[in-house]
Each structure stands twice: as C-alpha cells, then as structure tokens.
A = this chain, B = another copy of it.
Amino acid sequence: MKYQKTLDHVINELEKISNYNYASSIIYWDLETEAPKEGIEKASQVLGFYSGESYRILTDLEFNKNIDLLLENIDLLDPINKKIIIETKKDIENIKKIPLNEYKEYNELLSKAQSIWAEAREKNNFSLFLPYLKKIITYKQKYVNYKGYNEHPYDALLDDYEPGITVKQLDIFFDNLKNRLVPLILKINKKKNFISNDILKLDYPIEKQKEFSIFIAKYLGFDFKRGLLRESTHPFSMSLNKYDVRMTTRYFLNDLQSSLFGTIHESGHSIYEQNIGEDICNTRLGGGNSMGIHESQSRLYENLIARSMEFWIPIYPKLQETFPENLKDIPLDLFYKAINKSQSDLIRVEADELTYSLHIILRYEIEKELIEGKIIPEDLPKIWNERMEKYLGTVPDSDSNGVLQDVHWAAGLFGYFPSYALGSANASQIMNSMKNKLNVDDILKEGKLEKIKEYLKENIHKFGKLKDPNEIMEIATKEIPNSKYYVDYLIEKYSKLYEI
C-alpha cells in the first residue's frame, strides 16, 4: 500500500498508548483490590503520568498529520484499519480541546478521589468526599465547554458513553418508562408483602458464597484461565485484553443476592470481553462497544437469564446443597419469587428490575442539574434524600446508603448512568431476537449456557468496537434500539409475579 509507512507509524504509536493503558489498568486493579493505603498517592501520580503520555501522542503534530493523511486516503485501508483511524481521529478531536496540565491533573484527581470515596462511604462521611466531588464537577463543567454541544451541556457527557444520544431523546425515553412503569410500581407498593425475600437475608457464610460465585461464573462461561474473580468495594470488570479479563464482586453475610447477582452481572461484561474476535483483539477495536451495548450483556445475564425460572431449574439443587441450612426446605418456586421481589429500596445495584430505572432517572436528573449549575454539590445529600422519597417513597438511613453508594462520580463517570437503562432496553431487545432463533427456555433448563454464549459471541461480542452501537443492534436484532421490549417484558413479568 502507498501509505504503509504512515500506517505503520500510527499503529506503532497506538501500540504505545495500548501499553500505557495496560499499565494504568493494572495499577487501577491493584488500587481497587489490594494496594496499601499510603501507596495510593504515588500510584495516582503514576496514573497521571501515563494519561499524560497518551495525551502527548494523540496531540503530537506528526501523528496528527499522519492520521489526516490516512483519513484522506481512507479507502485504501482494510475495514479494520479504516475503523481504527476513524476512531483515533475521534479521540484526538475529543482530547485536543483539553489543555494537557488539566487533563493530567484530572486523571490524578480521579484515582485519588476513588480511594477517598471508598473511605467516605465506609465512614458514612460525605464531607470527606465533597472537596473531591466539587473538583470533578468543576472539571466536567469546563470539559463540556471544551468539547462543545448543540443543545444541552449534558449532551457532551452522554456522548462519551453512548455516541450521539441527547438529553432530548433521553427525556422521551425516561418519560415513557415513568409513564408505563410507575402505575405498576404503585400497585405493587400496595402489595408489599405479597412476596418475601427474607430467606435471602439469612446467614450465608462468606466462604460458601465465594465458592458459589466461582461456580456460577464458570457455569455462565467465564474462562478462569483467562481471568480472575476478586473482591472490591464496588463490583467492576476490567479487560486488559481477551486473555486477561478481571472482575470483582462483594460479599455480605446477610445478603446472598449481592454477591450472586453481582458476579453474574460482571460475568456478562467479562464474557463479552473474552469473546472479542481474534482479528481485532490486539487493536484499539479489541474491547467492548458503547456502554449501552456493554450493559446490555451484563443485564441480559443478570436479569433476563439469571432471574428466570428456567435458569435455576438445573442448578438450584446445587445452591441448596451449598447452603443447606437456609435453602434445603425452600422450593424453587419460592426462591424464584424471592429473587424477583420488587421493593422500593435504597441501593441501586441491589434494586429489582422494575424499580431499577427510577434509581437511574434520579441520577440522570441530578447530573443534568449539577452540570447546568442548577444545584450545588454541598446540597447533594439533602437533594438525594428528597428525591428518593419522591420517586421511591423511601429515605436513606445514611449517606453511605444514599448519595455515597456509587463509585461513578468519584471515577468521573458523569453521563454514564443512563447507559444502564439503555443497556436494559437493549438486553430485552436482544433477548427477544435471540428467542426467535434459539429455544432459550430449553437451553436454560438443560443447562447448556455455552449455546447462549456462542450466540452472543457471533451476533455481538466478536465485533468489539469494529461496528457502531446501532450497527451492532441492527445485526443482532434487525431493529434500531428502542424501549418497547424492555417495558413489555417488565410489565408482563411483574404483573404475573404480583398477580395484578
């Protein structure tokens, strides 16, 4: 090819960025899972250094000239390199609007903020975290101006996770959810005790929970030769590459659901990353797609699969054997109801499927208003609690269980929460389509989860970032993303469960 040398130079520079990312990811993993407290500050500086190095490459003049040259001759490139160049150009456009020193400081701030957040949450002390949160929000407000937006400043943040989506679209999306789901939620609130999940709150020995978490991750198809499962304050997944994909969960003695569905959720993310196609796995396209696609995979496994009756038929006996004192005499039917109890509760990650989106709507609205400057960080605990009462009819007993519950803001993830709801909608749409091709219920009953993994690999996972989110949804479902299947699924499932 005429521009082979230009391409080689670009690929070589991208390889450096990939190595910086590798180092940053391992340092991040270490910080989240075991680093000693007093080592955090230095680790944060090192993270700042590596993000600065990536910045330096992306804003380098020669690199930019080469990218532009390749863009002018884009049709000479094969599809993979074509997409690599286009995506790199987007990164450049995003990053070069931000001054280097601000970018580096911000990245250092984030890694420190996450440790402080963990401490603040543990100590139920919002004021510990407040100064960091203020700095992060100030940066985000500057960032949206650097980046630019057409209608709403929050659009600039949404675009980082779900390219192209806007406040305008989301307002409609969430209004539809509110309008159709809230009436059902209100009816269920009146039948509060129709379903009990007390059996999930007995003593579940941590070591046994760990054992079952490993079992269930394997059962879903997570490959432990290419991955790890550990513990952290907030469950997360992290892919170094498809050969090393790591995830965490958390264990509470009196809460079986937390570790169980935490592990299943993260397995969904991690199985996705382990299934990226060989052709792209060593390129910048070799990771999961947008957050809305990524969350569709975790939620598909967590909810549509693992909160179905069929899923538990072959493995409920194993769960009973692991916790005989608690479950020996509990029939599957009761267990199934318990894991699907709908309850207007405090913690997002432990919310049932039906009330979940209200947790998201609350965060979505608060983030919009913070970015606009309509509300200030100091007032967050108060505002949080007021809106929890308004939307879910319940007031947090502590900031740890309220405004401090999520790591996202400490990690700078403003504009990210809506992806969870979009992910749920995508998951229902994908499941609907998968059911047209596979007999999913039978597969689950027979415990042949590898068939589902294979289907998802072929229709979604293997593409990595090679396709755009909408293209992926087209391939997997022959439709553009919409909320229809999601709302239909929830209404059908919960009307039946609560006999409404």
Q: Which residues of A contact B (CB under 8 A)?
A: 16, 19, 22-23, 26-27, 29-30, 34-39, 41-43, 46, 49-50, 224-228, 230, 240-241, 243-244, 246
Contacts and interface: CB of A to CB of B under 8 A. Distances in A.
A39 B239 CA distance: 11
Contacts of A16: 49
B36 A244 contact: yes
Given A23-B27, A26-B23, A49-B19, A38 B228 contact: no
Contacts of A42: 22, 240-241, 243-244
A317 B258 CA distance: 41
A244 B38 contact: yes
A36 B241 contact: no
A49 B41 CA distance: 25
Given A39-B240, A39-B244, A41-B243, A46 B19 contact: yes
Contacts of A22: 27, 42-43, 46
Nearest to A29: B30
A101 to B, nearest CB: 15
| Among A22, A34, A224, A230: residue with most chain B CB under 10 A | A22
Given A36-B227, A39-B243, A42-B243, A26 B19 contact: no
B36 A224 contact: yes
Given A22-B46, A36-B226, A38-B225, 4 more contacts: A19-B50, A23-B27, A35-B244, A39-B244
How often does this chain occur in the complex, in copies?
2
A241 to B, nearest CB: 5
A225 B23 contact: no
6 contacts: A16-B49, A34-B230, A35-B244, A36-B224, A38-B226, A43-B240
| Among A29, A35, A39, A240: residue with most chain B CB under 10 A | A39
A39 B270 CA distance: 14
A47 B27 CA distance: 14
Contacts of A50: 19, 23
A72 to B, nearest CB: 30
Contacts of A29: 30
Contacts of A243: 36, 38-39, 41-42
A227 B34 CA distance: 10
Given A38-B244, A39-B244, A46 B23 contact: yes
Contacts of A37: 225-226
A226 B37 CA distance: 7
Nearest to A240: B39
A246 B226 CA distance: 25
Nearest to A282: B42
A26 B23 CA distance: 8
A37 B36 CA distance: 25
A35 B42 CA distance: 23
A496 to B, nearest CB: 41
A417 to B, nearest CB: 30
Contacts of A230: 34
A37 B246 CA distance: 12
A270 to B, nearest CB: 11
A163 to B, nearest CB: 28
A42 B226 CA distance: 12
A205 B43 CA distance: 35
A471 to B, nearest CB: 28
B244 A34 contact: no
Nearest 6 pairs between A and B by C-beta? A39-B244, A23-B23, A38-B243, A38-B226, A19-B49, A22-B46
A366 to B, nearest CB: 35
Contacts of A227: 36
Contact of A30 (B30, B36, B41, B226): B30
Nearest to A246: B36
A241 B226 CA distance: 30
A246 B35 CA distance: 9
A43 B228 contact: no
Given A19-B49, A49-B19, A228-B34, A241 B39 contact: yes
| Among A29, A224, A225, A240: residue with most chain B CB under 10 A | A240
A281 to B, nearest CB: 10
Contacts of A244: 35-36, 38-39, 42-43
Contacts of A38: 225-226, 243-244
A227 B39 CA distance: 8
| Among A29, A38, A240: residue with most chain B CB under 10 A | A38
Contacts of A30: 26, 29-30
Nearest to A48: B19
A189 to B, nearest CB: 45
A19 B225 CA distance: 29
